[in-house]
Amino acid sequence: MKNSRNNLRLHRKKRIKAKIKGDAKRPRLAVFKSLTGISAQVIDDEKSTTIVSAYLKEIKQAKNDIEGAKNIGILIAKKCLEKKISEIVYDRSGYKYHGKIKALAQGAREGGLKF
């Protein structure tokens, strides 16, 4: 039986998740990408709570492309800085680090977050 692309991604996600943990000092920035949008959330793994989240639909005139992903990164950085969070751990959720995932990370760095 051939593995689907998403099953392979979920297998990579398990490997990545085993190595990184977010805490109150350095929460985890988790990214999810679908066909219609991209979302990001900052998670404290010790308390199992979402601190901040952002979705493509929150930004007016945003498209599901690299510029939209960069805008999500800037938005999530802005929300994190309001909550006094400046350092995070980046969780790409098994996606390759290119395209939208890379643009989101660059947008978060431009917004003031440190990885």
pLDDT above 70 for 28: yes
Residue type, 50: T
- Dihedrals φ, ψ of 102, to 5°? -70, -40
CB 59 within 8 A of CB 68: yes
pLDDT above 70 for 114: yes
pTM value? 0.90
Domains, in order of start, for the chain: 5-111 (3.30.420.100)
CA distance 65 to 8: 23
Taking only the tens place, the pLDDT of each residue in 71-105 is: 999 999 999 999 999 999 999 999 999 999 999 99
CA distance 72 to 97: 16
Look at residue 23 in the predicted model and tell me its pLDDT: 85
pLDDT above 70 for 1: no
Q: State the DSSP H helix or E strand holding residue 51, giving kind and residue range, or none if neither.
A: strand 49-55
CA distance 28 to 26: 7
